[in-house]
Amino acid sequence: MHEDEKYLFDINGYIVVRDALSPEDVALCNEGIDRHAENIRERTGELSLAGGSSALKGETGRGDLGGALMWEEPYGSAFRNMLVNPRVVPYLHEILGEGFRLDHNLGIITMRKGAEGHTLHGSSGPGFDRHQYYIYKDGKMHNGLTVAAYQLADINEGDGGLCLVPGSHKGNYPCPTTLRHATAHTEFIKQITCKAGDCIIFTEATTHGTLPWTADHDRRTALFRFSPGNLAYVGHNWSEEMLALMSSEQRKVCEPPYHSRLERPVLEVE
């Protein structure tokens, strides 16, 4: 992560890693999703994420698909390889520190045309969330829960999908409800455009959400959440069955939280 990128992450709370996946990797992941599409569950009714917002409402809800780290070959390995992606790991080393760990299980997000948005949320503001935060101290940034969102379909201007308020990871006051509902102050909300294969990395402290999906093609995103090696947001519950499918390098990312001085394994990046 070069100095320009550190600066941009520091002022914005996110960065886009271009071409993190090859076209072949993207195609393989999409083929795997197609084969498991019957397991996609759309959030409707009480599971709606739009929060009653008139600006975020849609005809259906976001689609959620789990279990990809344990899919049959070659699809499972395509997603497990993202844990140790050499294009992305150097950024996570800088943002989270060496010895970072997988905090949440992989979730694949899908949105078809007409899918609703997700109210904006984030952990900045009054109080301090010891699990998801952004701090700069002693010449280095320190982050809690951080997202690596691999895009498996193009996101063009106006399509919808992931949006955020750049710089909000440093906010001190509560985010206005009207902004969270995207009904006011929308000039500060930025939709993130990118190509299939790009990876968006952002700290959960950044106010972020989703705009309704308007494109004819489906949105597809593989969402990984990582934490520093000493920290856990959710309980450590990786099954032996899942770990058995992983390489020794991939298992390093699935270690439980503990101090780095206790010989915590660290990914090697060429």
Q: What is the pLDDT of residue 203?
A: 98
- Residue-wise pLDDT for 87-118, tens only, equals 999 999 999 999 999 999 999 999 999 999 99
Query: How do the domains of the chain map onto residue ranges?
Result: 3-252
Summarize the confidence of residues 123-137 as an average pLDDT: 94
Q: What is the pLDDT of residue 268?
A: 85
Average the pLDDT over each of 175-179, 205-209, 229-233, 236-240 and give the range with the smallest value: 236-240
Q: What is the pLDDT of residue 270?
A: 67
Q: What is the pLDDT of residue 236?
A: 77
Summarize the confidence of residues 78-83 as an average pLDDT: 98
CATH superfamily of 3-252: q2cbj1_9rhob like domain (2.60.120.620)
Summarize the confidence of residues 148-156 as an average pLDDT: 98
Q: What is the pLDDT of residue 198?
A: 98
- Residue-wise pLDDT for 193-227, tens only, equals 999 999 999 999 999 999 999 999 999 999 999 99
Q: What is the pLDDT of residue 269?
A: 78
Indicate the pTM of the whole model. Answer: 0.96
Other beta carbons within 10 Å of 59:
12
Q: What is the pLDDT of residue 237?
A: 77
Other beta carbons within 10 Å of 181:
20
- What value, to the nearest 5°, has the Cα angle with vertex 219 and ends 195 and 14? 55
Q: What is the pLDDT of residue 65?
A: 98
